[in-house]
């Protein structure tokens, strides 16, 4: 009876690897996850491209197929929908796991009040150099990467995580731990309205409105993918930034937010 129950019991953790296009990056991520695989977890790869599975790992990994050309946000949402764990860990293709990286985050998520945990994203050539520590949405509706904020650098130098106005409001889209029920408040996934560049900040605003906590866990570390070339001046990026602003000020006084938006 116990063995039969274990076979049907959902895993505690679902590791979701969204892969819009780069299968070489996917394999880097898969190798790191399989080498450091935690107990009681499933691995879900959400593909926006063709993948032939040359290593024949379908018994260890569940592949779900999005329409060809799907974005990072769409692949992420498909992976979330296909996952069965009480905790969902998103680790995008190109990012890499490290030994024991899930344990500290999972400890935090035993608390129902915690909706998400932010792992530290470290540089591939220097695991002591932090390149990602979550995101914030400024009062004027601008996405802020916490790791590039000067106060974060000062806090890191003193071995203290950022707090208050410099603390992350949520994980970056590519790497974060989430209680599965946190997505229900957000409509079961990330909004596509703000694109891949601002979807995480949009979700951070949603988390703030939910009243649940977001925790930065410095002992949970993932190796960040090489930074993509910015296309911040493109029409789409500008449109997504404006959408983030308008979505972020819902229920707030309009005039102060507009002033801050113009200043930012």
219-255 residue pLDDT tens? 999 999 987 555 445 756 666 556 555 455 554 444 4
Q: H/E element holding 70?
A: none
For the chain, domains (ranges, CATH) are 8-263 (3.90.550.10)
Q: What is the pLDDT, as a whole number, of residue 244?
A: 55
Assigned token pair, 248: 């972020």
- Calpha distance 216→237 (Å, rounded): 27
Q: What is the pLDDT, as a whole number, of residue 186?
A: 74
160 burial type by CB count under 10 A (0-12 exposed, 13-18 middle, 19+ buried)? exposed
Residues contacting residue 213 through CB under 8 Å, at least 6 positions apart: 111, 113, 114, 115
- Calpha distance 166→145 (Å, rounded): 10
Residues contacting residue 115 through CB under 8 Å, at least 6 positions apart: 178, 179, 182, 207, 210, 212, 213, 214
- Calpha distance 30→119 (Å, rounded): 18
Q: What is the pLDDT, as a whole number, of residue 33?
A: 99
Q: What is the pLDDT, as a whole number, of residue 248?
A: 55
SS3 74: helix
From 43, 47, 95, select the one nearest 70 (Cα to Cα). 47
From 226, 217, 224, 228, select the one nearest 122 (Cα to Cα). 224
DSSP 20: S
Assigned token pair, 36: 């450091």
Q: Could you count the other beta carbons within 10 Å of the beta carbon of residue 185?
A: 15
The number of CA neighbours under 13 Å toward the Cβ of 184 is 6
DSSP string for residues in 94-132:
T-B--TTTTHHHHHHTTSTTEEEEEEEEEETTEEEEEEE
In terms of DSSP H, where are the helices of 162-234? 182-185, 195-210
Q: Which residues of the chain have pLDDT under 70?
A: 1-7, 139-140, 148-165, 228-233, 235-264
- CA 145, chain centre distance (Å): 13
């Amino acid at each position: 009876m116990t063995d039969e129950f274990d076979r049907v019991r959902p895993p505690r953790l679902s590791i979701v690897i969204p892969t819009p296009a780069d299968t070489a990056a996917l394999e880097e991520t898969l190798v790191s996850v399989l080498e450091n695989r935690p107990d009681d977890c499933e691995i879900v790869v959400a593909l926006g491209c063709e993948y032939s599975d040359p290593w024949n790992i379908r018994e260890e990994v569940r592949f779900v197929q999005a329409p060809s050309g799907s974005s990072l946000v769409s692949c992420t949402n498909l992976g979330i929908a296909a996952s069965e764990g009480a905790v969902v860990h998103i680790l995008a293709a190109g990012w890499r796991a490290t030994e024991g990286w899930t344990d500290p985050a999972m400890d935090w998520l035993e608390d129902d009040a915690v909706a998400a945990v932010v792992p530290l994203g470290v540089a591939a050539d220097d695991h002591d150099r932090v390149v990602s520590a979550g995101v914030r949405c400024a009062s004027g509706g601008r996405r802020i990467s916490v790791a590039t904020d000067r106060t974060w650098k000062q806090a890191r130098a003193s071995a203290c995580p950022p707090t208050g106005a410099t603390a992350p409001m949520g994980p970056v889209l590519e790497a974060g731990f989430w209680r599965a029920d946190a997505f229900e408040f957000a409509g079961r996934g990330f909004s596509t309205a703000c694109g891949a560049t601002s979807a995480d900040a949009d979700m951070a605003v949603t988390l703030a409105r939910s009243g649940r906590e977001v925790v930065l866990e410095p002992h949970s570390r993932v190796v960040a993918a090489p930074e993509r070339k910015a296309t911040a001046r493109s029409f789409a990026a500008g449109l997504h930034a404006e959408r983030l602003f308008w979505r972020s000020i819902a229920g707030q006084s309009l005039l102060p937010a507009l002033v801050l938006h113009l200043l930012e």
